[in-house]
Structure 1
Amino acid sequence: MSTRPLLEVRNLSVTYGSGAAAVPAVRGVDLTLPAGRKLGVAGESGCGKSTMALALLRLLPASARTTGEILLDGEDVLTMKWGRLRAVRWAGASIVFQGAMHSLNAVRRIGDQIAEPLLVHGRATPAAARSRAGELLEHVGLPAARAAAYPHELSGGQRQRVMIAMALACDPRLIVADEPTTALDVMIQAQILRLIERLVAEQDIGLLMISHDLAVLADTCDRLAVMYAGRVVEEGPAKAVYEAAAHPYGRALSAAFPRIGDPASRRAPRGLPGDPPDPAGLPGGCAFHPRCPVAVEGCAERDQELRDAGAGRRAACVHVGTQVGSTS
């Protein structure tokens, strides 16, 4: 039995444009995801999460230049020929895009849209594909009869379930979920998250889930990677990173969400001043230092690599091991 990870991302970098106008959106990202496990990727808007996700299946525009390695079952997605890449999309790995209403075709019935990848990949006849679409809808908690509906006839939560059914149609080994619960109310959000967890467990697939919400990722995923300015600045067990991040940016993200049952966090919620830097004008040294509450003089001069933070964790901070600013 192979012990090779389902997904390995090695030194992944993505830039838009070229020459002096090149903009670095992702800078040297390394990630590992075994089959049957769930990896969360967190960070504010503009930190490179979605660009990284789209790079995994080479869905970026022609203006993007991607380097590094993306190994799916040991095969590099970045060097695949187009025929092989088409075979891998949906069947080997699929993606649940952010905003189901914008991802679904408004003038096609949802059953036809779920059946389409089955037909494209030659997995079923038209009749069998329609039947399978109904089965998939029931698998994600919708009646098979809803296959005849158009996207506008469904609620936001129902459309998100349709997107998940489409992602599962060809039995992929990896699902990438980019903000799968954005704009859903908390009850529907909880239902979608439990559904995703159940499907991962039942089908032994790998899940890479992207969100700005550390609490959601800590509750859903096994491990968590925190991105800032195109780099992973911390990674480790999800609950440990959420409850006691080793990097000051991770601590700031966690503190921005009041904890139920914690009067202190409810009465004095904390945020993080400022915004992530423009990728076209990154500051020198550690990109987080202009916003960092514990920055020291050297932070503006020298970037930090990920280093051991104990208990299966790594963080890119000069204070790792010194407990400066730690909440633990």
Structure 2
Amino acid sequence: MDHLLELDGLSVSYRTADGPLPAVRGVDLVVDAGEVVGIAGESGCGKSTLASTVLRLQPKDAVVEGEVLVAGRDVLTMGWGDLRALRWAEASIVFQGALHSLNPVRRIETQIAEPIQLHEPGLSTAEVTARVGELLEQVGIPAARSRVYPHQLSGGQRQRVMIAMALACRPQLIVADEPTTALDVMVQAQILDLISGLVKDLGVGMLIISHDLSVLSDVCDRVAVMYAGRVVECGSAEQVFRAPAHPYAKALAQAFPRVGDPAARYAPAGLAGDPPDPHAPPPGCTFEPRCTLAVDACREAEPPLLDIGGRQSACIRVGAA
């Protein structure tokens, strides 16, 4: 049986005046029905590029290699007609920043109805209106508020509208790119509960992108940690957050503040330095310049992503263990 989403050797680079700029490098990943898979990492590690490539939304200056299979079909090679049919109906995306994604001069009912009318032209106006109301109720917004404009909703409500739009045509795969960005912690918790409930109740698969580890730890079954465009660790959420194997994954976990822990309060952990310049990556392991455990061998070759005890990690120390 096909995975809902399968990335096989996915690489994405951008054409620039200084030459190709690699953003995603050789990523392999799968998402199955009823599963939430998270992508973690610092800004610039390739998370959003990966998310946009799933539905072939990358800009024209992007060069893509590898395969992106949605329900067994390669998104990168299918014709525009098939791609248009796949978007919304089989796979949809929740963009970060709902205020910038929603049309400010159109009522939310019109915006949610648009993909339904496009993919199910046989429905009557009354049936579409009823579907919009059901979707809003499903995400916790009264159907009576369907005629308001985006600016008349709070940040959390606008994000709920974005999720309702993503569910409009009953897709099996949802890509959520930073779905709780700029939301306060209380609203963030509500959105995460909503996402978890929808995945469980509807049996859909979700790929969720975030730099916030607390978001991923709350909702994900598995997590892939990206650094400099490639996955350096992948495993269950509990493995990655409680016992990370890769030094970068460990640094991310330690940087997450722990409420009520005096040690974390008075000696906050962090990670010195910055991610490498994609135009001039360091030799060997790209994390070596920032790694406190680095040895000379780390500069010789980039470690492969190896299977270790039910997870994967790309570190010379892990491979030698």
Q: Given the two structures, how large is their TM-score scaled by the length of structure 2?
A: 0.97
Structure 1 residue 309: Cα displacement: 2.4
Q: Which residue identity lines up with residue 281 of structure 1 in the other structure?
A: A
Asked if the contact 2:4–2:72 (Cα under 8 Å) also holds between the matched residues in 1, the reply is yes
Q: Which residue of 2 aligns with 1:308?
A: 307
Cα-Cα RMSD: 1.4
Counterpart position of 2:223: 224
1:156-180 deviation per Cα after TM superposition (whole angstroms, max 9, x unaligned): 0000000000000000000000010
Find the residue that maps to 1:319 and give its secondary structure: helix
Contact kept in structure 1, 2:166 and 2:174, CA below 8 Å: yes
Offset at residue 253 of structure 1 (A): 0.6
The residue number in structure 2 matching 1:267 is 266
Q: Does 1:294 align with 2:285?
A: no
- Write out per-residue CA displacement over residues 207-264 of structure 1, whole angstroms, 9 at most, x where no aligned residue: 1001011222122100000000000000001111011110000011111111123222
- Give 1:40's aligned residue: 38
Q: Distance in 2 between matches of 1:262 and 1:195?
A: 29
Aligned with residue 74 of structure 1, among 72, 75, 82? 72
Question: Hey, what's the Cα distance between the residues in 1 that align with 2:246 and 2:218?
Answer: 20
The 8 Å contact of residues 39 and 222 in structure 1, kept in 2 or not, is answered as: yes
Name the counterpart of 1:176.
175
1:1-328 pair list within 5 angstroms: 2=1, 4-17=2-15, 21-122=19-120, 124-310=123-309, 312-320=310-318
Whole-Å separation in 2 of the counterparts to 1:130 and 1:22: 47
Would you say the 8 A contact 2:306–2:319 is kept in 1? no
Cα distance in 2, alignment partners of residues 107 and 275 from structure 1: 41
Shift, 1:86, TM fit = 0.2
Of stretches 163-172 and 117-126 in structure 1, the one that deviates more from structure 2 is 117-126
Shift of residue 181 of structure 1? 0.5
Separation (CA, whole Å) in 2 of partners of 1:112 and 1:284: 52
Q: Which letter maps to 2:248?
A: Y
Q: Provide Cα deviations, 1:117-169, integer angstroms capped at 9, x if missing partner.
A: 00111253333222211111111000111111111111000000000000000
Q: Please say if residues 3 and 30 of structure 2, whose CA atoms lie closer than 8 Å, have aligned partners that are also in contact.
A: yes
Offset at 1:313?
A: 0.7
SS across alignment from 1:279: coil
Matched position secondary structure for 1:290:
helix
For each residue in 1:184-228, what CA deviation from the matched residue of structure 2 results, as whole angstroms up to 9, or x when unmatched?
A: 011100000000000001110001001011222122100000000
User: Are the equivalent residues in 2 in contact too, given 1:227–1:233 (CA < 8 A)?
Assistant: yes
Give distance in 2, aligned partners of 1:14 and 1:321.
27
Change in CA separation of 1:281 and 1:127 when aligned onto 2, cut-off 3 Å: farther
Partners of 2:198 and 2:237 lie apart in 1 by: 19
The CA distance in 2 between the partners of 1:188 and 1:20, in whole Å, is 42
Kindly state the Cα deviation for residue 281 of structure 1 after the two structures are TM-superposed: 2.1
Shift of 1:29: 0.3
Moved more, 155-164 or 279-288: 279-288
Indicate the SS of the match to 2:318: coil
Q: Aligned equivalents of 1:321 and 1:70: distance in 2?
A: 28
How many Å apart are 1:5 and its aligned residue? 1.5
Which residue is equivalent to 1:326? none
Matched to 1:288, the amino acid is: F
Task: Indicate if the aligned counterparts of 2:222 and 2:234 stay in contact, CA closer than 8 A.
Answer: yes
The Cα shift of 1:19 comes to: 9.1
Q: State percent identity of aligned pairs.
A: 63
By how many angstroms is 1:92 displaced? Answer: 0.4
Secondary structure at the counterpart of residue 290 of structure 2: coil
The aligned length equals: 320
Q: What is the distance in 2 between the residues matched to 1:308 and 1:58? A: 29
**Letter of the 1:101 counterpart:** L
Deviation at 1:321?
Answer: 5.6
**C-alpha distance in 1 between matches for 2:277 and 2:218:** 30
Tell me the amino acid that sits aligned with residue 152 of structure 2. Answer: E
Mean CA deviation greater in 68-77 or 122-131: 122-131
Aligned residues of 1:94 and 1:167 also touching (Cα < 8 A): yes
